[in-house]
């Protein structure tokens, strides 16, 4: 059994980790911590855990490193880099669900986020987008779990970028997320009366997932990618829908585009390509690790339009984190996360 520690277990991503690991056949929760609810029963925070005897412990990452085979960090940006050091990594593996180890360029990270406190560790971290970096993840001590918007956006565009089928200067991503993407902390913008019956763009031209998408697509392209990314908040609990646009480099057909996606994804269990004329919906992936991707060509404008959907708490956070754990420990990637999407929901 893999002994698991979870730091930040009472946030939405952390609670999804608890749900998944509690049913994982090859892993068990050794310790879960919460700064806000230390000493309380987990069921006092989430009533749906009344059948479990989990306790929210005080955080002691040194002790956890001695007792756990892997520690998941579900923390705000700027916190994980203060906790992870060589001593910790010499004893356990780290999967960070936050942003601290996603960007390899320190200057970019500090321009978009804050001071990085583990510059010596950062080069070792691998970006844990499993379908793309699977081989690089194996055997690593620290994995940076991708963001929710970024997972959807990168996977939606990766084959086209890799095959040089699109003009990299014309990429536009319009993405929409459910309210859990903003976290569990109290915020006026997330109050029911503020959120309900409304759709709004936020952090226009300044969202922190922008450089993450650009960096990973730049690696795929072999050249710098600069794009427009605009997120929107919509009145639903969970789910992300990303609509991506780009000019085609040639007069490609639908079958040409389809062949590119099948080249990279035909053997990827968790990526499902929709049939021609059908486009993903968030309800088709809710509560699952699946990413649904559909596409078409607008012949009038010579643009390809790619639409991707995933569950921001599952494939966009906890599910992918467990997929990374499975890879790290040599398990079948589907172990513990092969759920049929919840429908209706």
185 pLDDT band (50/70/90 cuts)? low
Could you tell me if residue 13 is inside a domain? Answer: yes
Closest CA to 166 of 111, 225, 101: 225
Q: What is the pLDDT of residues 281-322, one digit of tens each?
A: 999 999 999 999 999 999 999 999 999 999 999 999 999 999
- 120 and 157 share one domain: no
Position 186 confidence tier, pLDDT thresholds 50, 70, 90: low
* Average pLDDT of span 167-193: 84
CB 110 within 8 A of CB 117: no
Token representation of residue 295: 């596409």
Give the domain CATH number at 190.
Answer: 3.30.360.10
324 is in which domain, residue-wise? 2-146+314-328
Q: So which residues are the catalytic ones? A: 148
Token pair for 117? 């406190």
Whether 9 shows a pLDDT value over 80: the answer reads yes
Nearest to 295 by CA among 166, 199, 202: 166
DSSP per-residue codes, 278-334 = ----GGGTTTSS-EEEEEEEETTTTEEEEEEEE-TTIIIIIHHHHHHHHHHTT--TT
Looking at residue 184, its pLDDT comes to 66
> What's the domain count of the chain?
2
At 250-278, the pLDDT tens digits run 999 999 999 999 999 999 999 999 999 99
**Do 124 and 163 sit in the same domain of this protein?**
no
**Any idea what the CATH number is for the domain that residue 75 is in?**
3.40.50.720
Q: Kindly state whether residues 166 and 269 are assigned to the same domain.
A: yes
Average pLDDT of the chain to the nearest whole number:
96
For the segment 14-32, what is each residue's pLDDT rounded down to a tens digit? Answer: 999 999 999 999 999 999 9
């Amino acid at each position: 059994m893999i002994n698991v520690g979870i730091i930040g277990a009472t946030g939405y991503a952390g609670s999804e980790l608890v749900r998944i690991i509690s049913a994982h056949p090859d892993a068990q929760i050794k310790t879960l911590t919460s700064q806000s609810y230390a000493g309380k029963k987990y069921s006092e925070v989430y009533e749906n855990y009344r059948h479990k005897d989990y306790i929210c412990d005080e955080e002691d990452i040194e002790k956890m490193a001695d007792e756990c085979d892997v520690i998941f960090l579900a923390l705000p940006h700027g916190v994980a880099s203060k906790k992870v050091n060589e001593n910790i990594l010499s004893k356990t593996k780290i999967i960070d669900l936050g942003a601290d180890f996603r960007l390899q360029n320190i200057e970019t990270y500090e321009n978009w986020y804050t001071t990085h406190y583990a510059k010596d560790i950062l080069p070792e971290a691998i970006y844990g987008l499993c379908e793309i970096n699977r081989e690089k993840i194996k055997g690593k001590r620290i994995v940076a779990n991708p963001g929710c918007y970024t997972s959807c956006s990168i996977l939606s565009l990766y084959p086209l970028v890799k095959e040089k089928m699109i003009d990299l200067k014309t990429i536009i991503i319009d993405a929409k997320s459910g309210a859990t993407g903003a976290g569990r902390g109290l915020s006026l913008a997330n109050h029911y009366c503020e959120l309900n019956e409304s759709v709004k763009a936020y952090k226009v031209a300044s969202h922190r997932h922008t450089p993450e998408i650009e960096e990973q697509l730049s690696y795929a392209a072999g050249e710098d990618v600069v794009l427009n990314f605009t997120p929107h908040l919509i009145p639903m609990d969970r789910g992300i829908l990303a609509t991506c646009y780009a000019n085609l480099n040639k007069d490609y057909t639908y079958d040409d585009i389809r062949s590119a996606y099948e080249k990279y994804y035909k053997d990827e269990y968790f990526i499902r390509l929709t049939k021609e004329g059908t486009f993903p919906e968030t309800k088709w992936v809710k509560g699952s690790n699946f990413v649904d991707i559909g596409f078409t060509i607008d012949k009038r404008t010579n643009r390809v339009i790619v639409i991707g959907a995933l569950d921001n708490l599952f494939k966009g956070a906890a599910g992918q984190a467990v997929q990374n754990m499975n890879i790290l420990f040599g398990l079948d990637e589907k172990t513990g996360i092969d759920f049929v999407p919840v429908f209706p929901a």
